[in-house]
Amino acid sequence: KNILVLNGPNLNLLGTREPHIYGSTTLADIEQAAISQAASSGASLSFYQTNHEGALIDRIHAARQEGVDAIVINPAAFTHSSVAVRDALLGVDIPFVELHVTNVYKREEWRRKSYFSDKAEAVICGLGPFGYKAAIEFVLDHMKERAK
Beta-bridge partner residues of 5: 47, 72
Binding map of ligand DQA across residues 2-21, x = CB under 6 A, - = no contact? --------x-----------
Q: Is 141 annotated as a binding residue?
A: no
Distance, in Å, from the CA atom of 39 to the CA atom of 14, rounded to the nearest integer, reads 24
> Is residue 41 involved in binding ligand DQA (CB under 6 A)?
no
133 binds ligand DQA (CB under 6 A): no
What is the Cα–Cα distance from 66 to 135, expressed in whole angstroms? 20
Local structure of 40: helix, strand or coil: coil
| CB-neighbour burial class of residue 108 (10 A; exposed 0-12, middle 13-18, buried 19+) | exposed
Contact positions vs ligand DQA (CB under 6 A): 10, 74, 76-77, 79, 100-102, 104, 111
Q: Which residues are annotated as a binding site for substrate?
A: 74, 80, 87, 101-102, 111
Binding site, residues? 74, 80, 87, 101-102, 111
Q: Catalytic amino acids? A: 22, 100
